[in-house]
Amino acid sequence: MQTLTVELPDRHYPIHVGPGLLDDASLLTPHFTGRQVMIVTNETVAPLYLERLKTTLADYDVHEVILPDGEATKNLEHVERIWDALLAAGFNRRATLIALGGGVTGDMTGFAAASYQRGIAFIQVPTTLLAQVDSSVGGKTGVNHPRGKNMIGAFHQPRAVIVDTDTLNTLPARELTAGLAEVIKYGLIRDVDFMTWLEDNMAGLRSLEAPLLTEAILKSCAIKAEIVVEDETEQGVRAHLNLGHTFGHAIETAMGYGNWLHGEAVGAGMMMATGLSQRLGWLDEATLERVASLLNAAGLPRHAPTEVSAERFLELMHLDKKVTDARLRLVLLKALGKACITDEVNETTVRELLENWERQ
């Protein structure tokens, strides 16, 4: 097992990464704030891992909530199911929530923890690659609104992140690929050497070679932790983690939550952000090709869906949380490994990109 620490100014928490960690009570119990524990998971993950985690925690007062699966369930109705279960069990402020599953489970459990009795402790036990490299770290929690992605939420940091890398063995290939989008993101925004490493090792990652996956998870979490420590509530540099997301979230919302996976939409969105950076003269053609090849090698889409017109894109992109004073604020690339946030891109240039971008 290897451990990173997220060293926030006033708190810190561990990210433990390794095989078999679901069986290790000593990684979880020191972070409990009392004996009451509620595991939140979904109907796909529960048959795979819930009993094991409950056995690990047999000495505690452990309850469970099993939610339906899917991005379309990431809403207040299902957070309410968690609140209801906590109240029905008579849980108080000393209760601890555990999110066992992917980013959907983690985001909703985190938000339930942020809001139940004005805030209780929670622990992330991510079981998708995407959740292990991104959503379990950093404390962004929340739900979607029919009008826009992640529109309702709170910053609420977990007490610990426990990444059992064995759980990736049951993950469908499409979900692994979606997680690779966020892994590639870290290379693009901050670390060209990591991007080169990904180019060299993409085939091994996709065939679930454990040492490679562990290295990719550790590197991704290290980059994310570094950025979150610098800017916990996204006043500045944290927005770099949003590369491709202004386009990507528009795709997810326009297509109906769950039809394009988050990672797939971010893959196409990163390609569009890279294309815009090239149009602005910041990147050359060869760099654009290099990004396209890496996304392709990961099995990610590079084109936007035909169903989303330029007009609809722009409408949804204006709902992005980074927008200020009605101006789009986009995360683009000044160079490979060097992200920037800008509100100086002329909307006509964005419209031209959207009108001419190949659709699939």
Ligand X SMILES: O=C(O)C(=O)C[C@@H](O)[C@H](O)[C@H](O)COP(=O)(O)O
- Catalytically annotated residues: 118, 140, 182, 224, 234, 238, 242, 245, 249, 262
Contact of residue 109 among ligand X, ligand NAD, none (CB under 5-8 Å per partner type): none
102 lies in the binding site for ligand NAD (CB under 6 A): yes
Query: How many Cβ atoms sit within 10 Å of the Cβ of residue 67?
Result: 24
Query: How many Cβ atoms sit within 10 Å of the Cβ of residue 294?
Result: 21
Segment interacting with ligand X (CB under 6 A) among 3-11, 235-243, 293-301, 341-349: 235-243
Segment interacting with ligand X (CB under 6 A) among 56-64, 163-171, 241-249, 323-331: 241-249
Contact 313, 265 (CB under 8 A): no
Site for ligand NAD in 257-286 (CB under 6 A): 262-263
Enumerate residues 6+ apart whose C-beta is below 8 A from 189: 223, 240, 241, 243, 331, 333, 337, 338, 339
- How, if at all, do strands 12-18 and 2-7 pair? antiparallel
132 lies in the binding site for ligand NAD (CB under 6 A): no
Which x/- pattern, by CB under 6 A, does the window 161-200 give for ligand X?
A: ---------------------x------------------
Contact of residue 102 among ligand NAD, ligand X, none (CB under 5-8 Å per partner type): ligand NAD
CA-CA-CA-CA dihedral for 144, 149, 152, 158, to nearest 10:
90
Q: Provide the H-helix boundaries in 191-231.
A: 192-206, 210-230
Q: Residue count at the site for ligand X (CB under 6 A)?
A: 12
Segment interacting with ligand X (CB under 6 A) among 54-62, 114-122, 234-242, 341-349: 234-242
- Which is closer to ligand NAD, CB of 219 or CB of 283? 219
Contact 101, 73 (CB under 8 A): no
Token pair 């995360």 is at which residue? 331
Q: Please tell me whether 107 is known to bind a ligand.
A: yes
Query: How many Cβ atoms sit within 10 Å of the Cβ of residue 285?
Result: 8
- Which is closer to ligand X, CB of 134 or CB of 164? 134
Report which of 294, 292, 295 is spatially closest to residue 277, judged by C-alpha positions: 292
Site for ligand NAD in 165-184 (CB under 6 A): 167, 170-171, 175, 178
Report which of 263, 102, 245 is spatially closest to residue 168, judged by C-alpha positions: 102
**Whole-number Å distance between alpha carbons of 50 and 37:** 13
Site for ligand NAD in 28-57 (CB under 6 A): 42, 44-45, 48
- Which is closer to ligand NAD, CB of 100 or CB of 308? 100
- Which is closer to ligand NAD, CB of 169 or CB of 356? 169
Contact 281, 275 (CB under 8 A): no
Q: What is the phi-psi region of residue 147: left when phi exceeds 0, alpha when psi lies from -120 to 50, beta otherwise?
A: alpha
Q: How far is the CB of 37 from ligand X (least distance, A)?
A: 26
- Which is closer to ligand NAD, CB of 263 or CB of 275? 263
For ligand NAD, the binding residue among 21, 28, 39, 104 (CB under 6 A) is: 104
Report which of 281, 266, 286 is spatially closest to residue 345, judged by C-alpha positions: 281
Enumerate binding residues for ligand NAD (CB under 6 A): 42, 44-45, 48, 69, 71, 74, 101-105, 107, 127-128, 130-131, 134-135, 138, 140, 150, 167, 170-171, 175, 178, 262-263
Enumerate binding residues for ligand X (CB under 6 A): 134, 138, 140, 149-150, 182, 234, 238, 241-242, 245, 321
